[in-house]
Amino acid sequence: MPTEQLAQAPNDLEPFWMPFTPNRHFKKEPRLISAAEGLHYLTPDGRRILDSSAGLWCCNAGHAPRRVVEAVRRQIGELDFAPSFQFGHPHAFELAARLRDLFPGDLDYAFFTNSGSESVDTALKLALCYQRVIGQGSRTRVIGRERGYHGVGFGGISVGGIGANRKWYGPLLPGVDHLPHTRVLEHTAFSRGQPQWGAHLADELERIIELHDASTIAAVIVEPVAGSIGVYPPPVGYLERLREITERHGILLIFDEVITAFGRLGKGSASEYFGVQPDLVTTAKGLTGGTIPMGAVMARKAIYDAIVTDNNGPDHAIELFHGFTYSAHPVASAAALAALDTYREERLFENAAELAPHFEEAVHSLRDCPNVVDIRNLGLMGAVELSPREGAPGARGYEAMVRAFFDHDMMIRITGDTIALSPPLIATRADIEEMVGRLRAILTRLD
């Protein structure tokens, strides 16, 4: 894109209350982007910024993928909006069928949302509703995991396990408990792929069940790979153990795949990658390649049948009192269908799988950099954890992000003092080398 066509920096930054951002610092030293293509963002002055984080874990097909751009342009001129309450449009049903075919087992039904946060709250409501309609109304508890991130709805922050996201908002949902997290550096530091240590941590669910009794627990929700906290791959056998325990006790298992679905691990989903069948799967981000906000919850047939098919009410009665104005928005549906076409026709899931071993070697090559205390990876997800500065946790990571943007023309994702990498699935070996080379230059200059 010619520089003269780029959107210019606004004169007044103050009115925008930015999410998950230190607003005061940003508005003194803004990091603005005006356009994007492929693996790069462009700043208002025309600098090309290498995107090592797929936007925010979402631009899996790169920026401005041709099929998606064309589909959105065409759709918005054809059907700009259609309600999903009592009406429907063809793309919504086509997309649901495509997702049914993509997800494993009998995850056959898609309930459309607009974000990962909405997907999580929807999945929690579906779990509670299901338990009630099958006569298990005492099952009202949900179990999350420490350091888990499940969006910012009240349900999501209740089952989530990041203290800063929870402490400002009161008691949250009642009856929630949490499994321990799986990052224990003395046992798992610098693991390549899934740690060999830690499967036994899933057995903590048995302790929680003993405390509360299984008859009170509706569901357990985990990220198959904890992403936003800084990429925690599950220990070998951990997810399988969770599935066995939940199934034995009549508890639903929810996989939060807002990050891992749509190719991040080289498969359509983490459920497929690990060979573990959950009861509900939450998605968003890569569903449209980040182009239009959209999410979906995939539900097993038994859950849909219990709530809808086996409902004894009259045919004109609503079976589930839940939904969103923009559920299955026609433009978002068109974008999602085009994104799925792009993933298939350009073999992007396969590219991610083939690139993953090289990505692992490249990321772990940073082990000798100053202040590095751990490196984690799985698929095209990686994390480089830095030691915190004394009395200033998060400062080193924040400085790395700022330096990356201004000094090395690179966007990196940080969570505290951890740098997370999630390159778009269109990346090549040379792109990975460039990302890691720039990151090395940043790390070696941090005190």
pLDDT at 395 over 60: yes
* The two three-digit tokens of residue 218, written as one number: 């509706």
pTM: predicted TM-score of the whole model, two decimal places: 0.96
Tell me the residue ranges of DSSP E strands in 43-118. Answer: 48-51, 107-113
Distance CA 399, CA 394 (A): 9
Per-residue pLDDT, 1? 56
**Strand order in 48-51's β-sheet?**
35-37, 40-42, 48-51, 410-411
Determine which helix (DSSP H) or strand (DSSP E) holds 94, and give its type and residue range: helix 90-102
DSSP class of residue 18? -
Residues 213, 215, 217: CA angle, nearest 5 degrees? 80
- pLDDT for res 120: 98
Going from the N-terminus, what domains does the chain have, and what CATH number goes with each?
A: 3-61+347-444 (3.90.1150.10), 68-345 (3.40.640.10)
Q: Do the beta carbons of residue 411 and residue 423 sit within 8 Å?
A: no
**CA 22 to centroid of chain Cα atoms:** 22
Does position 279 have pLDDT exceeding 70, yes or no? yes
Position 6 scores a pLDDT of: 74
Q: Does residue 107 have a pLDDT over 70?
A: yes
351-368 pLDDT, tens per residue? 999 999 999 999 999 999
DSSP assignment of 306-329 equals IIIIT--S-TTS-S-----TTTT-
Q: Residue 8: its pLDDT value, please?
A: 75
pLDDT bin (cut points 50, 70, 90) of residue 7 is confident
63 DSSP 8-state letter: B
Measured distance CA(156)–CA(334) in Å, rounded: 28
Q: In this predicted model, what pLDDT tens digit does every residue of 196-224 receive, in sequence order?
A: 999 999 999 999 999 999 999 999 999 99
**Separation CA 14–CA 18 (nearest Å):** 10
CA dist., res. 199 & res. 240, Å (int): 9
Sort strands 295-300 and 252-256 into parallel, antiparallel or unpaired. unpaired
pLDDT at 159: 98
Mean pLDDT over each residue of the chain, to the nearest integer: 96
